[in-house]
Amino acid sequence: MYNTIGIIGLGLIGGSLAKAFRNRVGVKKIIAYNHNEDVLISAFNEGVIDEYTLSIDSAFSQCDIIFICTPVSLICTYAEKLIPFIKKDCIITDVGSTKGKIYERIKALPQKICYIGGHPMTGSEKFRYSASKEHLFENAYYIITPDEDVPENKITEFYEAVKKIGAIPVILSPSQHDYVAASISHVPQIIASSLCNNVKLLDTPQGHMHKIAAGGFKDITRIASSNPDMWESICFENKEQIFKVLSSLENVIKRLKDSLIQNEHSNVHDFFDEARLYRDSFSNITPGSFIKRYEIVIDVLDKPGSIAIISVLLSSNNINIKNMSIVNNRERENGVLYVSFDSEEQRQKSIALLREMNYEVQIKD
């Protein structure tokens, strides 16, 4: 495993990688570069990194692997800057959410490097170092797109490192990755931002839409708060695949519009029903192994300590909570707290305990 790692760009992802490798992998030394020195000083004082630099230089000469955590348009620029300083067998990787163009540019560099593309499928609308956390990658897919010339042992080592930080590694080709990412990440980001821009455009002079918007609208547009610099870069880097997905989406919306114009009630019903069935088909799947996740929904009061009481009750009875999430509104849900377990036995035991305490509990399948 790696003794020394380098990180270029200490934001949400770079900072979280540093914390995860420090605490979960136990690397001996972490070196970081960032254009903002205040961030580097904070990370150094926290013990997250051991050394930092404000330029790409020999500080990275002993690194076994270097993560480039910058906007995708800058990844190859930094890779080229690193070439004079890195060891011959040092792995260069990135966390960019597009891969095709990066892969082509890396192949065109004047000097060959050991490149393994990476894309952790996680993040937040908060994108600064202050939002970074050790467990950001836990149970999240981490797509790996290695150059075909990378030795198998290097790929295996990287694969195992990804598992150690809690993520779920998946190997794809760059083109497969970009088409998948356009469908489930890039176009949804465009949709969220489009909804916000549309409501802003349509709102009344008194701002009624802005005041009333809550619940479902806030949930579906949460990611619109993400870093605009990053998304500008992604859209142009993966433009061809985004065009394909947007064209498909336009056809889906057009079919619904046509059904409304023709008063085809059954088609409109099917539109929503097919979406519901598809969405429900993966709502209780564990990312890594595609096994069933056993969930319950608990109706709780919105007051301090409510979640803590439930957590203590279950943990004190040897029930492992695999995941817990809060529903921020009650528009379409019977409860506000989701809890999931690894087995039906654990789920049934928790239901019995909670109902004994007069909680209203429902099984979610």
Return the CATH number at 263. Answer: 1.10.3660.10
Considering the domain architecture, whether residues 248 and 158 belong to the same structural domain is answered as: no
Which pLDDT belongs to residue 124? 59
Considering the domain architecture, whether residues 60 and 146 belong to the same structural domain is answered as: yes
Question: For residue 264, is it within any domain?
Answer: yes
Q: In this structure, what token pair is assigned to residue 118?
A: 């990476």
**Helix (H, G, I), strand (E, B), or coil: what is residue 146?**
strand
Distance CA 98, CA 237 (A): 7
Distance CA 46, CA 93 (A): 25
Q: In this structure, what token pair is assigned to residue 73?
A: 């348009």
Q: Of 172, 187, 219, at which residue does a domain stop?
A: 172
Q: Of 279, 313, 330, at which residue does a domain stop?
A: 279
Closest of 154, 124, 171 to residue 15, by C-alpha: 124
Question: For residue 101, is it within any domain?
Answer: yes
Which pLDDT belongs to residue 126? 63
Q: Of 147, 172, 197, at which residue does a domain stop?
A: 172
Considering the domain architecture, whether residues 117 and 76 belong to the same structural domain is answered as: yes
Considering the domain architecture, whether residues 26 and 136 belong to the same structural domain is answered as: yes
Distance CA 348, CA 356 (A): 12
CATH of the domain at 139: 3.40.50.720
Q: In this structure, what token pair is assigned to residue 1?
A: 């495993």
**Helix (H, G, I), strand (E, B), or coil: what is residue 323?**
strand
Consecutive 10-residue runs of the chain (365 residues): their mean pLDDT? 94 94 91 94 94 95 96 92 94 93 91 93 74 87 89 94 92 92 93 94 92 81 86 90 96 97 97 90 54 78 82 92 67 63 90 92 80
How many Cβ atoms are within 10 Å of 9's Cβ, its own excluded?
Answer: 25
Contact yes or no for 52/35 (Cβ under 8 A) = no
Question: For residue 348, is it within any domain?
Answer: yes
8 secondary structure, DSSP code: E
Question: For residue 126, is it within any domain?
Answer: yes
Distance CA 262, CA 354 (A): 50
Considering the domain architecture, whether residues 37 and 105 belong to the same structural domain is answered as: yes
Bin 263: left if φ > 0, else alpha if -120 < ψ < 50, else beta: left
Considering the domain architecture, whether residues 109 and 246 belong to the same structural domain is answered as: no
Considering the domain architecture, whether residues 188 and 332 belong to the same structural domain is answered as: no
What sign does the CA torsion over 117, 122, 128, 133 have?
negative
Distance CA 43, CA 19 (A): 9
Cα–Cα–Cα angle for 282, 119, 113, nearest 5°? 150
Which pLDDT belongs to residue 95? 94
Question: For residue 133, is it within any domain?
Answer: yes
Question: For residue 115, is it within any domain?
Answer: yes
Distance CA 7, CA 15 (A): 8
Closest of 53, 61, 7 to residue 30, by C-alpha: 7
Question: For residue 286, is it within any domain?
Answer: no
Which pLDDT belongs to residue 349? 94
Domain that holds residue 132: 4-172
Name all contacts of 23-30 with Cβ < 8 Å and 24+ positions apart.
23/134, 24/134, 24/164, 24/165, 24/166, 25/1, 25/161, 25/164, 25/165, 27/1, 27/2, 27/3, 28/3, 28/4, 29/3, 29/4, 29/5, 29/62, 30/4, 30/5, 30/6
Considering the domain architecture, whether residues 132 and 113 belong to the same structural domain is answered as: yes
How close are the terminal C-alpha atoms of the chain, in Å?
40
Question: For residue 288, is it within any domain?
Answer: no
CATH of the domain at 316: 3.30.70.260
Considering the domain architecture, whether residues 157 and 259 belong to the same structural domain is answered as: no
Considering the domain architecture, whether residues 250 and 271 belong to the same structural domain is answered as: yes
Considering the domain architecture, whether residues 214 and 353 belong to the same structural domain is answered as: no
Considering the domain architecture, whether residues 20 and 161 belong to the same structural domain is answered as: yes
Per the structure, the count of domains in the chain is 3
